[in-house]
Structure 1
Amino acid sequence: MITRTAVVASKTGLHARPAALFARAAGDAGVPVQISVEGKDPVAANSLLQVMTLGVEHGDTVTLHAEDGADAALDRLVTMLETDLDA
């Protein structure tokens, strides 16, 4: 299992549009990816509803989890999270 951390840059956190864009990209990653925030269990990153239940706000640190060999996919998702998807 590999992990990556990211600080969420979107002004609204992972709500509505940013969460939908992220969940779609996670689904397109080609590997199962989970996302977690401190104090909550990991959820499927490709599920919009599950991502939104984490309540991630602007500036929160999230952790992405995937099987070994998914480095490039996680790197792309981290880049996405560290970009303001509201802009």
Structure 2
Amino acid sequence: DRRKQWDGEDVPTTRTRFTERASKLATMLAALYSEDLDEAARAEAAEQAHEELLRVLGYSTGEFRIRRDGPVRWFSTAGIEQSALA
């Protein structure tokens, strides 16, 4: 079974990262609704939660090339320059 093979490898996956950090992510996201935060603190907390979510999903592992265009982030696989075939 491929899943057992992946689980047996000592390489972090999206699933293992999420399993390890699910509680932290839930706490970070719930904190965004706290009435104790002013707008600046809420924006900072949202940015931290966003960065953590990107790490958990694997977008900060170096596997992807990230290009920022204002508020938009473009993700592509590192080393692949051509577009996908349609």
Higher strand fraction (1 or 2): 1
Structure having the higher Rg: 2
Both proteins in one fold, TM over 0.5: no
TM-score between both structures, scaled by the size of structure 1: 0.26
Higher helix fraction (1 or 2): 2
Q: Which has the higher contact order (CA 8 A, sep 6+)?
A: 1
